[in-house]
Structure 1
């Protein structure tokens, strides 16, 4: 098996930054189930992505990658995912409020008990 080197990839994508971003984007596509252009040969998705870039089967389009990333980010922050972040946040805030209310009461009880114990230990005059 011939090994793919960074120099092989840089012939296709001369910018190191674009190469890294492109390889990560393609590896994520492969993880999500997009079919590989080359035989996977039991390689990890990142290795397959680098092999595809070096062979010229995947062309790094930084603008497209950034736009897709922003679309995913907007979808996540606007609540368009299967997980509703607002519901989790509300539950967490309610739990914190409950804990906050219980804490002072517990502190008062503890301080009252400590004061009561201190009175018991003082000798009668």
Structure 2
């Protein structure tokens, strides 16, 4: 990388680790098709991202936020309405299952493990 570009970036983002992470995120954005804010001048994407940071042609707080969003492993939590709808669907499914079990033949009941246990005895003829 160009030393002048890195030295210019350290003024904007003093922590070198944050600088590397931010430049890497911007490089990924550029590779994904983000619009450049400086002339490429035959430079590769990492150098272009450092030049953008040094010239402050991109918003550094937005870049850091993009980095955080890109590093998250968990999906954002759903709002309460979605959770309530999901709970209602589960309750309706449980009610439908209970109705189906009640409508089953009296010869079949559920045992403690939740499996069907048949009350009728089946006779097997052992005729040879």
TM-score by length of 2: 0.49
Q: Which whole-Å deviations, capped at 9, do the CAs of 1:76-111 have from their partners, x for residues lacking one?
A: xxxxxxxxxxxxxxxxxxxxxxxxxxxxxxxxxxxx
Tell me if the contact between 1:4 and 1:51 (Cα under 8 Å) persists in the aligned partners: no
From the CA coordinates, give the structure whose radius of gyration is larger. 2
Tell me if the contact between 2:23 and 2:49 (Cα under 8 Å) persists in the aligned partners: yes
Higher normalized strand content (fraction of residues) = 2
Structure 2 unaligned residues grouped into runs of 5+? 76-128
Q: Which has the higher contact order (CA 8 A, sep 6+)?
A: 1
Is 1:32 equivalent to 2:38 in the alignment? no
How many residue pairs match? The answer is 72
Is 1:48 equivalent to 2:48 in the alignment? yes
TM-score by length of 1: 0.50
Which 4+ residue blocks in structure 1 deviate beyond 4 angstroms?
Answer: none
Match of residue 71, structure 2, among 69, 72, 91? 69
C-alpha deviation, 1:65, in angstroms: 1.2
C-alpha deviation, 1:67, in angstroms: 1.8
CA distance in 2, matches of 1:11, 1:56: 11
C-alpha deviation, 1:4, in angstroms: 3.4
CA distance in 2, matches of 1:60, 1:18: 11
Tell me if the contact between 1:27 and 1:45 (Cα under 8 Å) persists in the aligned partners: yes
Higher normalized helix content (fraction of residues) = 1
